[in-house]
Amino acid sequence: MIEKKIFGRTGHQSRRTIFGSAAFWAVSQDTADKTLELLLEYDINHIDTAASYGDAELRIGPWMREHRKHFFLATKTMERTQAAAMEELYKSLDRLKTDYVDLWQIHAITNRDEWEAALSPGGAIDAFLDAKEKGLTRYLGITGHGVEVAKLHQLSIEKYEFDAVLLPYNYAMMLNPEYAEAFNKLAKICKEKNVALQTIKSIARSYGEHQPSGYNMWYDPIDDNEALDHAVSWVLGNEQVFLNTAGDVTLLPKILKSAANFQKRPDDYTMNGDMKKHNIKPLFTHEFSGP
Residue 285: its pLDDT value, please? 82
Residue closest to 151 by CA, chosen among 120, 124, 126, 187: 187
CA distance linking residue 39 with residue 43, whole number of Å:
6
Are 209 and 220 in contact by the 8 Å Cβ rule? The answer is: yes
Residue 287: its pLDDT value, please? 56
pTM for this prediction: 0.96
In this structure, is residue 178 part of a structural domain?
Answer: yes
Are 12 and 42 in contact by the 8 Å Cβ rule? The answer is: no
CA distance linking residue 26 with residue 59, whole number of Å:
9
pLDDT, tens only, 56-83: 999 999 999 999 999 999 999 999 999 9
Residue 209: its pLDDT value, please? 61
pLDDT of 291 > 60? The answer is: no
Residue closest to 106 by CA, chosen among 141, 73, 56: 141
In this structure, is residue 173 part of a structural domain?
Answer: yes
In this structure, is residue 289 part of a structural domain?
Answer: no
pLDDT of 215 > 90? The answer is: no
Q: What does the pLDDT average to over 36-65?
A: 98
Q: What does the pLDDT average to over 262-271?
A: 98
In this structure, is residue 44 part of a structural domain?
Answer: yes
CA distance linking residue 179 with residue 176, whole number of Å:
5
Task: pLDDT band for 207, please (50, 70, 90 cuts).
Answer: confident
Collect contacts of 62-71 with beta carbons under 8 A, ≥24 apart.
62/29, 62/33, 62/97, 63/32, 63/33, 63/36, 64/96, 64/97, 64/98, 65/97, 67/36, 67/40, 68/98, 70/40, 70/45, 71/45, 71/46, 71/47
Residue 214: its pLDDT value, please? 80
In this structure, is residue 223 part of a structural domain?
Answer: yes
In this structure, is residue 250 part of a structural domain?
Answer: yes
What is the DSSP code string of 72-115? EEEEEE---BHHHHHHHHHHHHHHHT-S-EEEEEEEEE-SHHHH
Task: pLDDT band for 202, please (50, 70, 90 cuts).
Answer: very high
Task: pLDDT band for 211, please (50, 70, 90 cuts).
Answer: low
Task: pLDDT band for 210, please (50, 70, 90 cuts).
Answer: low
The string over 84-106, giving b where at least 16 C-beta atoms fall within 10 Å of a residue's C-beta and e elsewhere, is ebbebbeebbebbebebbbbbbb
CA distance linking residue 285 with residue 67, whole number of Å:
40
Task: pLDDT band for 111, please (50, 70, 90 cuts).
Answer: very high
Residue 122: its pLDDT value, please? 98
Strands (E), the chain: 4-6, 13-15, 17-20, 46-48, 72-77, 101-109, 137-144, 164-168, 196-200, 204-206, 220-221, 241-244
- What does pLDDT average to over the chain? 95
Distances (CA, A) of 290 to 166, 207, 218, 284, 287: 16, 11, 9, 11, 9
Q: What does the pLDDT average to over 193-202?
A: 98
Residue 216: its pLDDT value, please? 84
Residue 99: its pLDDT value, please? 98
In this structure, is residue 135 part of a structural domain?
Answer: yes
Q: What does the pLDDT average to over 208-228?
A: 82
CA distance linking residue 255 with residue 246, whole number of Å:
8
Amino acid at 193: K
Neighbour count for residue 119 (Cβ, 10 Å): 21
Q: What does the pLDDT average to over 207-230?
A: 84
Task: pLDDT band for 290, please (50, 70, 90 cuts).
Answer: low
How many structural domains compose the chain?
1
pLDDT of 10 > 70? The answer is: yes
Domain housing 139: 4-278
Q: What is the CATH number of the domain that holds 39?
A: 3.20.20.100
CA distance linking residue 243 with residue 259, whole number of Å:
9
In this structure, is residue 246 part of a structural domain?
Answer: yes
Are 245 and 258 in contact by the 8 Å Cβ rule? The answer is: no
Residue 286: its pLDDT value, please? 64
